[in-house]
Amino acid sequence: MKLPSEDAAVLVSLPAGAPLCTAMRGEDPSAVVWLLLDPSDIDCKQTTFVRATGSQCERIFADLYKLSAGPARRKESLVSVREDPIEEASASSGGLPDGS
């Protein structure tokens, strides 16, 4: 994760208790990202604190929006499947298309 500020911090914690992990760059962070872990390990909530004004603040939030930890992966397309309709005669007799 690359934060868009020279001085920034990341805090990872559960809803109560001491932080599980912290990381800081610089002496006085202008951006702090707090990741609050879900107790059921489903996901986490992100709260961002920014100490900036105007366009600088907007730029920091824009850089953090939908933050990705790596390059975007291309989705593989599904292999197409050809379906042959079942003949009416075999469907009404309950048999297979070859008559068995």
Q: Where are the domains of the chain?
A: 8-64
Residues 6+ apart with CB under 8 A from 28: 7
Record the tokens describing residue 26, joined without a space: 């610089």
Tens of pLDDT, residue by residue over 11-60, are: 899 888 899 999 888 888 888 888 898 877 777 888 888 888 888 888 87
3-state secondary structure of 62: helix
Which comes out higher in pLDDT, residue 60 or 88?
60
Give the whole-number percent of the chain exceeding pLDDT 90: 6
